[in-house]
Amino acid sequence: MAEVKVRDLVEDLQLRVISGDDYLDRPIVTSDISRPGLEITGYFNYYPKERVQLFGRAEATYLSKMTSDERLLIMRRLAKEETPAFVFSRDQYPAYEAIQAADENGIPILGSPITTTRLSSSMADFLHARLAERVSKHGVFVEVYGLGLLIMGASGVGKSEAALELIKNGHRLIADDRVELYQKDELTINGEAPKILQNLIEIRGLGIIDVMTLYGAGAVRNEQELNLIIYLKRVEKGDNFDRLGSNQEIEEVLDVKIPRITVPVQMGQNISNIIEVAAMNFRAKNMGYDATETFANNLSQLIKDNSN
């Protein structure tokens, strides 16, 4: 599991540090966010102390109705050794007692102008992406017609060259050589490039190419959902391939089933064109049109007509 610090949350969501600049290296171990409404009323039986504590308008208003001693007591009970940070939404400024209790326990207090619900969602999405289990796949990850395609195959089969041609055709690169995949939710896998490889692609004979420098910011993307795996396989004697495309291949990635297509590769083929067509055909199938099914129906009708 990747390590996430409060500093990462501050930088990604552009949060304001109200107090505790020296405590931004505190670790965050869960993507769950807590709104400590019950705890503010004094009920601490199930206090999730390891979560980021988010104070919305309701929590801040309730705290403001307390006496100074009551506020300090409650905030001290909230400020545990495991608590990563206190966050106040809607540009609310915490009471002095909150700052005192947080400072006593080395907890930073952060602020944001956005609404509590939106802030909670943004923090949870960021933390889930950073803390989720990850796997690395060898391949090239590109966005083609809005779909995330992971191009895989043996070394030297032409994955990067096909990706470069796709980029020239207006599609976008997410990652070359190594793709970091993580589970966004029960049905979704997202992928991105390791930081050291972002925007870079290796072409045999040319070396490393910076795609954003050569083709502009529109030619790259930081992250994308994985929709389809395309496996490039050199044609060898005795190979049999599905000519009609009726057999649906599936590959499991972190318990999520991802459709997979095996594309035979021969000398002289335009692989990038085949990948573009594969993407369009995959989208058509998802919209309810299946050319294989249409062909089968037409063939059945032809046999029926000829038998009459």
Q: Do the annotations mark residue 304 as ligand-binding?
A: no
Residue, of 306 and 104, whose pLDDT is higher: 104
> CA 111, CA 17: separation in Å to the nearest integer?
6
pLDDT at 225 over 80: yes
The answer to whether residues 215 and 167 touch, using CB atoms and an 8 Å cutoff, is yes
How far CA 28 is from CA of 41, 93, 122, 191, 307, in Å, comes to 25, 23, 15, 22, 71
Residue of 35, 159, 171, 172 marked catalytic: 159
307 alpha-carbon distance from chain centroid? 55
> What's the pLDDT at 84?
96
Sign of the Cα pseudo-torsion (27, 29, 33, 39, in order): negative
User: Mind listing the pLDDT tens digit for each residue in 259-292?
Assistant: 999 888 877 678 899 999 989 988 888 887 666 6
pLDDT at 294 over 80: no
The answer to whether residues 159 and 152 touch, using CB atoms and an 8 Å cutoff, is yes
User: Mind listing the pLDDT tens digit for each residue in 7-41?
Assistant: 999 999 999 999 999 999 999 999 999 999 999 99
Choice among 9-13, 110-114, 132-136 with the minimum mean pLDDT: 132-136
User: Mind listing the pLDDT tens digit for each residue in 62-95?
Assistant: 999 999 999 999 999 999 999 999 999 999 999 9
- Is 243 a known active-site residue? yes
> What's the pLDDT at 170?
93
For residue 229, the cross-strand partners are: 150, 260
CATH of domain 134-295: 3.40.50.300
> What's the pLDDT at 149?
97
- Is 118 a known active-site residue? no
Give the pLDDT band of residue 151 (cuts 50, 70, 90): very high
The length of the chain is 308
The answer to whether residues 52 and 84 touch, using CB atoms and an 8 Å cutoff, is yes
* Strand 140-144 versus strand 188-192 pairing type: unpaired
Q: Do the annotations mark residue 202 as ligand-binding?
A: yes
What do you get for the CA distance between the two ends of the chain, in Å?
A: 66
Q: Which two tokens stand for residue 64?
A: 């403001």
CATH architecture, range 4-131 = 3-Layer(aba) Sandwich (3.40)
pLDDT at 306 over 90: no
As a whole number, mean pLDDT of residues 34-57 equals 95
Q: What share of the chain is helix, strand, coil (3-state, %, to 5)?
A: 35, 30, 35
Residue of 16, 57, 118, 138 marked catalytic: 138
Domain locations in the chain?
4-131, 134-295
Choice among 31-40, 45-54, 216-225, 292-301 with the minimum mean pLDDT: 292-301
For residue 191, the cross-strand partners are: 181, 224
Nearest to 81 by CA among 29, 4, 132, 147: 29
Q: Do the annotations mark residue 80 as ligand-binding?
A: no
Give the pLDDT band of residue 191 (cuts 50, 70, 90): very high
Residue of 177, 178, 233, 290 marked catalytic: 177
pTM of the complete model: 0.71
Q: Which residue has the tokens 């089968």?
A: 296
- Is 290 a known active-site residue? no
Q: Do the annotations mark residue 136 as ligand-binding?
A: no
